């Protein structure tokens, strides 16, 4: 384990300068700051900022990084994380990053300075998208992400789940299936789009980019994307829309009402997540259930196992079952809208 002395020697500065970088970085010259930060990174140094009196090997605190706390899906995941962590003797600190890398960096610093022990990352890791993780010396688990993240994860098989949605729509006779995606660079969008394309291909249908609109996983984007589908100028309109989450599906259903179109008689809508309110929507939403609460519980248990040395990083990637919940918003194709 690197010490403050090692960092000072590596950076060619005094120990006092290293301490200043950690506590009052604004009082250090940019050149020295850069040298010390590089040395900290190279050596994987984790300063312990807990006072001598309360020093312990673990803060027994987990930081949960949440991209969007307004999405009830994340609230369900957090509920699972909180319950499991509590049982395991850990406290939770929820960091709302709102996709800001500056905010994410601040929370990561809490682990580096041992004010927290590890991180549960709810924003999927994507090249170019926010995520300063992984860092070798920051224990982390991804939840509701995608395969291939450089740290262990708890997720469902998104590709298979979306393919099942498409099979369901195809079995109802739909051949013009639209999609409302999340942000293009979001890795959940990327894997769900893969499932969408594969599902169409397996059904012998062509992927038509004009039947796809980009949303942002929020209600309003589902509303506007659907309105855009309905423009008179569109040469082709969907008879069914696969929405990459329930929020956007709810927005889509509301939007169709403004066009006097009925769900499912005129257009079928299918969502993803199975939020609590989706069963109470009118019509009740057909959707994919992600076991959000269990995903939260399992991710907390996995991180604690890692922190307490019961599981290595390499052997942990948990894929939980999903379920297509068929309700009222999908039906046999009736007429081309
Ligand atoms: O981040 C947005 C979406 O990704 C959520 O609604 C949920 O589907 C998650 O997996």
- Summarised one tens digit per residue, pLDDT across range 112-149 is 888 899 999 987 655 445 455 656 678 899 999 888 77
First to last CA, the chain: 65
Atom of ligand 1 nearest to the CA of 155: 10
* The pLDDT value given to residue 186: 86
pLDDT at 132: 58
Check if 272 has its Cβ closer than 6 Å to any atom of ligand 1: yes
CATH code of the domain occupying 61-156+292-322: 3.40.50.2300
- Please report, rounded to a whole number, the percentage of residues in the chain having pLDDT higher than 90: 62
Closest CA to ligand 1's atom 6: 245
Residue of minimum CA distance from atom 10 in ligand 1:
144
Average pLDDT in the 276-289 region?
97
206 vs 78: CA distance, rounded Å: 39
Do residues 330 and 270 lie in contact, with contact meaning Cβ atoms separated by under 8 Å?
Answer: yes
Note the pLDDT of residue 314.
59
> Between residues 56 and 270, which one has the greater pLDDT?
270
Q: Is there a contact between 155 and 288 (Cβ–Cβ < 8 Å)?
A: no
Atom of ligand 1 nearest to the CA of 217: 2
Mean pLDDT of 156-179: 98
Provide the pLDDT confidence category of residue 309 given band limits of 50, 70 and 90.
Answer: confident
Question: Greater confidence, 46 or 249?
Answer: 249
273 lines ligand 1 (CB under 6 A): yes
Q: Which atom of ligand 1 is nearest to the CA of 186?
A: 1
> 245 alpha carbon to ligand 1 midpoint, in Å?
6
Residue 331 has pLDDT above 60, yes or no: yes
Rounded to the nearest angstrom, the distance between the alpha carbon of 18 and the centre of ligand 1 is: 40
User: In the predicted model, what is the mean pLDDT of residues 248-269?
Assistant: 97
State mean pLDDT over 92-96. Answer: 91
**For a substitution probing ligand 1, which of 144, 186, 296 has the most ligand atoms within 8 Å of its CB?**
144
Given a cut of 80, whether residue 316 has pLDDT beyond it is: no
Mean pLDDT of the chain, nearest integer: 89
pLDDT digits (tens, 9 = 90+) for 182-193: 999 888 999 999
Q: Which residues of 45-58 are buried (b: 16+ CB within 10 A; e: fewer)?
A: bebeeeeeeeeeee
Measured in Å, residue 188 CA sits from the centre of ligand 1 at: 7
- Ligand 1: which atom is nearest the Cα of residue 67? 1
Which residues lie closer than 8 Å to 282 by C-beta, 6 or more apart? none
- What integer is the mean pLDDT of 14-41? 85
Instruction: Please identify which residue in the block is written with the tokens 């994307």.
Output: 225
Which residue did the predictor score with more confidence, 31 or 197? 197
**Type and span of the H or E element at 324:** strand 323-325
- Sheet with 177-181, strands from edge to edge, namely 212-214, 177-181, 240-243, 268-270
Highest mean pLDDT: which of 168-177, 179-188, 328-337? 168-177
pLDDT band at residue 69 using 50, 70 and 90 as cut-offs: confident
The pLDDT, as a whole number, for residue 334 is: 78
Q: Is it true that 4-47 and 158-290 share their CATH fold?
A: no
Task: Report, at the CATH architecture level, how domain 4-47 is classified.
Answer: Orthogonal Bundle (1.10)
Per-residue confidence (pLDDT) for residue 133, from 0 to 100: 61
Cα(58) to ligand 1 centroid in Å equals 31
pLDDT reading at 323 higher than 50: yes
**In terms of DSSP H, where are the helices of the chain?**
4-11, 15-23, 30-43, 72-88, 101-112, 158-171, 187-202, 219-229, 246-258, 292-307
* Residue ranges covered by each domain of the chain: 4-47, 61-156+292-322, 158-290
Element of type H or E holding 93? strand 91-96
217 lines ligand 1 (CB under 6 A): yes
Band (pLDDT 50/70/90 cuts) for residue 50 is very low
CATH superfamily of 158-290: Response regulator (3.40.50.2300)
């Amino acid at each position: 384990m690197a010490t403050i002395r090692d960092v000072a020697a590596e950076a060619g500065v005094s120990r006092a300068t290293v301490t200043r970088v950690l506590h009052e970085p604004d009082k250090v010259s940019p050149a020295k700051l850069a040298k010390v930060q590089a040395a900290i990174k190279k050596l994987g140094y984790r300063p312990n900022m807990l006072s001598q009196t309360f020093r312990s090997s673990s803060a027994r605190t987990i930081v949960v990084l949440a991209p969007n706390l307004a999405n009830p899906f994340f609230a369900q995941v957090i509920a699972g994380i909180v319950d499991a962590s509590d049982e395991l003797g850990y406290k939770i600190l929820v960091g709302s990053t709102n996709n800001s890398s500056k905010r994410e960096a601040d929370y990561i610093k809490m682990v580096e300075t041992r004010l927290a022990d590890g991180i549960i990352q709810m924003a999927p890791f994507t090249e170019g998208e926010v995520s300063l993780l992984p860092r070798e010396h920051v224990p982390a688990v991804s939840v509701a992400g995608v395969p291939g993240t450089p740290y262990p994860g708890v997720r469902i098989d998104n590709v298979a789940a979306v393919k099942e949605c498409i099979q369901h729509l195809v079995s109802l006779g739909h051949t013009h299936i639209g999609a409302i995606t999340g942000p293009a660079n979001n890795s959940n969008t990327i894997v769900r789009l893969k499932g969408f394309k594969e599902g169409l291909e397996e059904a012998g249908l062509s992927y038509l980019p004009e039947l796809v609109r980009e949303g942002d996983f929020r209600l309003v984007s589902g509303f506007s994307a659907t309105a855009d589908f309905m423009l008179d100028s569109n040469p082709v309109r969907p008879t069914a829309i696969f929405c990459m989450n329930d929020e956007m599906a709810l927005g889509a259903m509301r939007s169709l009402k403004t066009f006097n179109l009925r769900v499912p008689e005129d257009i079928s809508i299918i969502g993803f997540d199975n939020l609590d309110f989706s069963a109470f929507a009118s019509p009740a939403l057909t959707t994919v259930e992600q076991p959000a609460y269990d995903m939260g519980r399992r991710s907390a248990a996995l991180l604690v196992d890692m922190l307490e040395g019961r599981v290595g990083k390499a052997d942990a990637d948990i894929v939980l079952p999903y379920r297509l919940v068929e309700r009222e918003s999908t039906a046999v194709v009736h007429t081309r809208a």
